[in-house]
Structure formats: C-alpha cells, structure tokens
Amino acid sequence: MYAPYRCKIVPKYKQSFSVTCIIGENLLYLSMWFLAGGLVWPVRWNGWPIVTIAWAVLVLVVQVLLKKHNCSGCYYYGKTCHLGWGKLSSWMFEQDSGDPKTGMRLSWFYIISPPIFLLAGLLVGILLDVGVWHWIFLGVYVVLNVLSFPIRKKGCGLCAMRAVCPGSAVRLSRD
C-alpha cells in the first residue's frame, strides 16, 4: 500500500460508494468491452471469431491481474470503491500481494484499447461485408468512451487514491 495511506494521511475522500454507482460504472465498462468484441466479430478464421475470443481472454486475464497488482495495494482493498473492485480483490488476493509497478503497466490496457478498437472497427467496416449493426455498435462505442471521461473524473474526485494514483483524472486537486 502507498505509504500515506498506510499511515492514514489521506485527503478528504469517500470511504465507500453506493451500489448504484458501482453497478452503473461496471455496466459502463462491461458494455465497452462487449462492444469492442462485437466490432471485431466479423474477423474469422475457420469460421471462428478469433479476435473476439482473444479479446475476451485478454480482458479476463488483465482484469484478474489488475485486482492483484493494483487493487490489493489500494486504500480501498476490502472496501467498496467506486467500482467495488477493492472488495473483489480482497476475495481473491492477500493485501499488498501485488507489484504496483506491474499494476501501473497493466493500467495501459484502459488507454490503449479504445483507439485500437475504434480503428479496428473502422477497418472492419470498410474492408469486410458488415451490416448496419456494425456501424451502430461503433457509434455507441464512441459515445460510451466519450461519456466515460466525465464519469471517471467524478469518481476520481471522490477517491482516496487520487493524489497518488497514476491514472487519476484529478491527481492535482488536493483539499
């Protein structure tokens, strides 16, 4: 755990978040991952949507690893953070059992995947024979990604980790 939090030197923060907030934010992420998989669904190998399958496996593996390397060292370990993942982490891993540097590298997953799937979605739509649903998926994917910015900023503004978290949208605001 980061030293200031172990010593309980924390700025004003929220101890736990409501179930509505947790479900809402998780649904947002799940929808974006689901849509990303849908955008590459037409890419087949022997009839199998291999890219979608690879993406599903990647999401699962990275999410489990993030619970270990990020969340097990978080202030919210064992608590309901804005995503509820602190609780999830405490069910799966010992506190501080991860490597925060690995967690930081794994967090690139959130930054790299949206532009890749936006580009992949465009290429699949142009090069392959897709229906109107592909373009609707792509449009919703873009809207959800844009919406995630203010939602993330709001969550980060209430989070105890915002001053030190490398991915915080409001890292500089200390009150």
Q: How many residues does the chain have?
A: 175
Q: Which is nearer to ligand SF4, 78 or 125 (CB)?
A: 78
Query: How many residues make contact with ligand SF4 (CB under 6 A)?
Result: 11
Taking CB under 6 A as the rule, does residue 106 contact ligand SF4?
no
The structure tokens listed for 144 are 């959800």
- Residues 125 and 39: their CA atoms lie apart, in Å, by 8
Per CB under 6 A, 71 contacts ligand SF4: yes
d(CA 107, CA 70): 9
| 8 Å CB contact between 161 and 168 | yes
The answer to the question of residue 93 lying near ligand SF4 (CB under 6 A) is no
Q: For ligand SF4, give the closer residue by CB, 86 or 121.
A: 86
> Is residue 163 at the binding interface for ligand SF4, with CB under 6 A as the rule?
no
Nearest distance in Å: CB 159, ligand SF4: 6
Q: Which position among 141, 161, 162, 163 is part of the footprint of ligand SF4 (CB under 6 A)?
A: 161
By the rule CB under 6 A, 76 interacts with ligand SF4: yes
**Residues 6-35 as b or e (16 or more Cβ within 10 Å = b):** eeeeeeebbeebeeebbeebeebeeebbeb
Our CB check for ligand SF4 shows the closer of 32 and 120 to be 32
Cβ proximity to ligand SF4: between 31 and 95 the closer is 95
For residues 140 and 124, give the distance between their C-alpha atoms in angstroms, rounded to a whole number: 16
Out of 40, 83, 138, 163, point to the residue binding ligand SF4 (CB under 6 A): 83
State how far the Cα of 120 lies from the Cα of 116, in Å rounded to an integer. 6
Question: What's the rounded Cα separation, in Å, for the pair 156 and 159?
Answer: 5
Does 86 bind ligand SF4 (CB under 6 A)? Our answer is yes
- What does the binding site for ligand SF4 look like in residue numbers (CB under 6 A)? 70-71, 74, 76, 81, 83, 85-86, 89, 159, 161
